[in-house]
Amino acid sequence: MVRIYHNTRCSKSRATLALLEEHVGVCEVINYLDTPPSAIELGVLLGQLGMTARQLLRTGEAEYQSLGLNDHALSETALIAAMVAHPKLIERPIVVANGNAVIGRPPEAVLAIL
The residues assigned a catalytic role are: 10
Q: What is the mean pLDDT of each run of 10 residues along the chain (114 residues)?
A: 96 97 96 97 98 98 97 97 98 96 97 95
The pTM is what? 0.95
Q: Which CATH class is domain 1-32+92-114?
A: alpha beta
Domain residue ranges in the chain: 1-32+92-114, 38-88
pLDDT for position 62:
96
Give the per-residue pLDDT at 103.
98
pLDDT value for 8: 95
Helix (H, G, I), strand (E, B) or coil at 40: helix
CB 58 within 8 A of CB 78: no
Q: Which of 25, 17, 32 is closest to 91 using CA atoms?
A: 32
